[in-house]
């Protein structure tokens, strides 16, 4: 078994953004990375969404989007992205008291099952603590056992919902 790669987070500027799109196109399904806009594959609508989404999230949790995305580096290579997004208080996801955010991640296929996702999640939870958040939630599909394992190893309490998803809650 090879050693786990060194994982770090990098801000998403234009160069990283171009690299993320190239990685997504060669090493991930479009449906893992972007909503189903304009039909199948990487069409102009999906590509435009990808760029506008990441550009809006460049301003951080206190920016207009209330969201921050980072590129994930594994041994210096771009491996995917991870985000934190503030959840508005008073919503069903926000829960009682404290500042809450949700997180999401995607990795290129060639970076999966190598410890990259777990390491990136730990780093983003550190970012959440620094931002004064009290809870981070995530959702995944019931069949995504790898994501559930990563979330549980980070201390998340997992709840299986009737809609085929799993809700994960990490108290910080």
Which residues have a Cβ under 8 Å from the Cβ of 99 and sit 6 or more positions away?
A: 86, 131, 132, 133, 134, 135
The DSSP string of 88-139 is: -TTSTTT-SSS-EEEEEEEE-GGGTTTTHHHHHHHHHHHHHHHTT-SEEEEE
What pLDDT shows up at residue 58?
A: 84
User: Which of the four pLDDT bands, split at 50, 70 and 90, describes residue 1?
Assistant: low
Instruction: Report the pLDDT averaged over residues 128-155.
Output: 93
pTM higher than the cut 0.85 = yes
What pLDDT shows up at residue 63?
A: 86
Please, what are the domains in the chain? 7-171 (3.40.630.30)
Q: Which two tokens stand for residue 85?
A: 């997004």
Instruction: Report the pLDDT averaged over residues 102-120.
Output: 95
- Cβ-based neighbour number of residue 46 at 10 Å: 22
Beta bridge partners of residue 108, listed in sequence order: none
- Cβ-based neighbour number of residue 28 at 10 Å: 20
CB 143 within 8 A of CB 104: no
Q: Which two tokens stand for residue 88?
A: 């508005």
Chain segment 54-89, per-residue pLDDT in tens: 999 988 888 888 999 999 999 999 999 999 999 875
What pLDDT shows up at residue 94?
A: 47
Q: Please state the φ and ψ torsions of residue 34, each to the nearest 5 degrees.
A: -145, 155
Report how far residue 54's alpha carbon sits from residue 83's, in angstroms, rounded to the nearest whole number.
10
Chain segment 81-105, per-residue pLDDT in tens: 999 999 875 454 545 556 899 999 9
Provide the 8-state DSSP code for 40.
S
What pLDDT shows up at residue 98?
A: 60
Chain segment 5-52, per-residue pLDDT in tens: 999 999 999 999 999 999 999 999 998 899 999 888 999 999 999 999
């Amino acid at each position: 078994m090879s050693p786990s790669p060194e994982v770090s987070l990098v801000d998403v500027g234009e160069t990283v953004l171009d690299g993320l799109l190239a990685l997504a196109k060669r090493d991930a399904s479009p449906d893992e990375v972007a909503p189903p806009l304009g039909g199948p594959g990487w069409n102009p609508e999906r590509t435009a969404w990808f760029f506008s989404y990441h550009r809006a999230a460049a301003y951080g949790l206190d920016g207009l989007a209330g969201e921050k995305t980072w590129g994930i580096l594994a041994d210096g290579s771009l491996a995917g992205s991870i985000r934190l997004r503030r959840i508005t208080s008073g919503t069903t996801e926000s829960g009682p008291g404290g500042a809450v955010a949700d997180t999401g991640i995607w990795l290129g296929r060639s970076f999966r099952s190598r410890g990259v996702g777990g390491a990136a999640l730990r780093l983003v939870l550190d970012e959440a603590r620094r931002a004064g958040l009290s809870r981070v939630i995530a959702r995944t599909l019931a069949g995504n056992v790898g994501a559930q394992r990563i979330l549980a190893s980070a201390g998340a309490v997992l709840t299986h919902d009737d809609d085929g998803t799993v809700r994960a809650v990490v108290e910080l």
